Amino acid sequence: ASTASFTVFELAQYPEVLEKAQRDIREALEKHDNNFTYEAVQDMKYLDLCIMETTRKYPGLPILNRECTKDYPLPDSNLVIKSGTPIIIPLLGMHRDEKYFPDPMRWDPERFLNKNYEPAAYM
Query: Is residue 57 assigned to a domain?
Result: yes
pTM for the model stands at 0.86
| The total number of structural domains that make up the chain | 1
Which amino acid type is present at position 84? G
**pLDDT, tens only, 43-96:** 999 999 999 999 999 999 999 999 999 999 999 999 999 999 999 999 999 999
- Can you give the length of the chain in residues? 123
**pLDDT, tens only, 12-51:** 999 999 999 999 999 999 999 999 999 999 999 999 999 9
The H or E element spanning position 54 is: helix 45-57
Domain, as residue range, for 11: 1-117
Query: Is residue 122 assigned to a domain?
Result: no
Query: Is residue 79 assigned to a domain?
Result: yes
Q: Kindly tell me the sign of the dihedral angle through the C-alpha atoms of 40, 42, 57, 109.
A: negative
CB 72 within 8 A of CB 9: no
